[in-house]
Structure 1
Amino acid sequence: MDLKLSFHPEFCQDTLCHSDTALRCGLDNSCPPELLENLSRLSALLGDIQRSLNIRSGALKINSGFRAHALNEKVGGVPNSQHCMGLAADVVCPEFGSPCDLALAIAQLPCEFDQLILEFGKWVHVSAAPLGKIPRRECLSIFNKDEGYLEGIVKR
C-alpha cells in the first residue's frame, strides 16, 4: 500500500532538501523514500508554526533541512542529527524578529515540536518527533560548544 504524502506548499520536499553546500561540494542531498514520511511531518510542523505566528508567505527561511549523512559530516553535524532523519530544520525569520524572539514565540505555541533549540543566537532548530513518539517539546539554547546546551530558550 502506498502512503499518500502531503507537503505544505511552502515547505515542499525540494525546499527541505535544498543545500548550497551540497551543490557546491557535488553531494547528493536527496531524501530517501523511507524518510519521506518524516519530511512530510516536518513540513506540516513548519506550516503550523508559520500559520500560528501569522508569518507572511515566504518569510520563514530554512537554512538547513534534510541532510544526507555526507552533507551532515561536511557541515559538522552530530552523527545522530535529526536532520539526517528528515525530522529537523534550522530556520530564521528576520521579519518576525531575532532568532531568540522567534524561538521564544514558537515555544509558546501549542505546536507539537520535539526539540526547539536556539543555536548560537543565529538560528532556530525545530524538529518533529519520530512517528509513534510523543513530542518532547524540549527547549534548549547553545551559545558555544564549551558551555554546551542550556535548558530553555535563553535570551542573551
Structure 2
Amino acid sequence: MNNPSQRLSAHFTLAEMTHSATAARKGIANVLTPEIERQLFLTADRMEGVRALLGDKPISVLSGYRSEAVNKAVGGSKTSAHRTGHAVDFICPSFGTPAQVAAHLAKHLTSYDQIIEEFGQWVHVGFGPQKRMQKLTAKKVGGRTVYSQGIG
C-alpha cells in the first residue's frame, strides 16, 4: 500500500479510507490496486461534499475500501460498492444520529447510488456508477439483514 498518511482530500486520508477493524483484528491485509486508489481520491472528494452538507462537522469513517478477503470477513455482499472504493460507512456524531444524518443527506445530496441507514449505527453512502438514488434502512430480522425503502 502507498503511504497511509497520504491525503486523498482535505479531510480524508488513505489510511482511514482503507481501515477495517475486522481486518486488523483478524490480521487480514486490505490491499488495494492503483485503480482502487484512484477511485478513493474521487470518493474522498465526494465525501468532502457530504461533510459540507453536514455543516462541515467531522466525519468518522468506519469502513471504506474492502478487499475481497476483508469484505468476506465482514459478511459483505459480493457486489458491495466497498469492493470498488465507491462506498463509505461513517458516523457524524456532532451532526446527529445516523438516522438524522441519513435523512439529511437523502434530502440534500444530489447524486449518489445509495444512502442506507444501517442498524441505527452508521450511514452507508455509495457513489457507484449506477446512481440509483436509493434511500434504504437496514435492520436485522431473525439474524438476517432486511432492507426497507426510505430512511428510518
TM-score, normalisation: structure 1 = 0.84
Aligned to 1:152: 150
Q: Which runs of 5+ in 2 are unaligned?
A: 1-6
1:41-65 CA distance string (max 9 Å, x none): 2111110010122133xx2111111
Deviation >6 Å, runs of 4+: none
- In structure 1, how many angstroms separate the alpha carbons of the residues matched to 2:13 and 2:100? 25
Residue from 126, 141, 146 that aligns with 2:137: 141
Distance change >3 Å, CA 27–CA 147, structure 1 → 2: closer
Asked if the contact 1:31/1:86 (under 8 Å) is kept, the reply is no
CA deviation after TM superposition for structure 1 residue 13, in Å: 1.9
Taking only aligned residues, the RMSD between alpha carbons, in angstroms, comes to: 1.7
Asked if the contact 1:116/1:125 (under 8 Å) is kept, the reply is yes
* SS of residue matched to 2:117: strand
TM-score, normalisation: structure 2 = 0.86
Please show how residues 4-153 of structure 1 align to structure 2 within 5 Å. Answer: 7-56=8-57, 59-130=58-129, 133=130, 135-145=131-141, 146=144, 148-153=146-151
1:104-156 CA distance string (max 9 Å, x none): 011111442211001111111001123xx5x22211111124572111112xx
- In structure 2, how many angstroms separate the alpha carbons of the residues matched to 1:152 and 1:10? 29
Shifted more, 38-47 versus 141-150: the winner is 141-150
* SS of residue matched to 1:11: coil
Question: Identity of paired residues, percent?
Answer: 33
1:78-106 CA distance string (max 9 Å, x none): 11111111111111111111100000011
Distance change >3 Å, CA 33–CA 148, structure 1 → 2: same
Asked if the contact 2:81/2:128 (under 8 Å) is kept, the reply is no
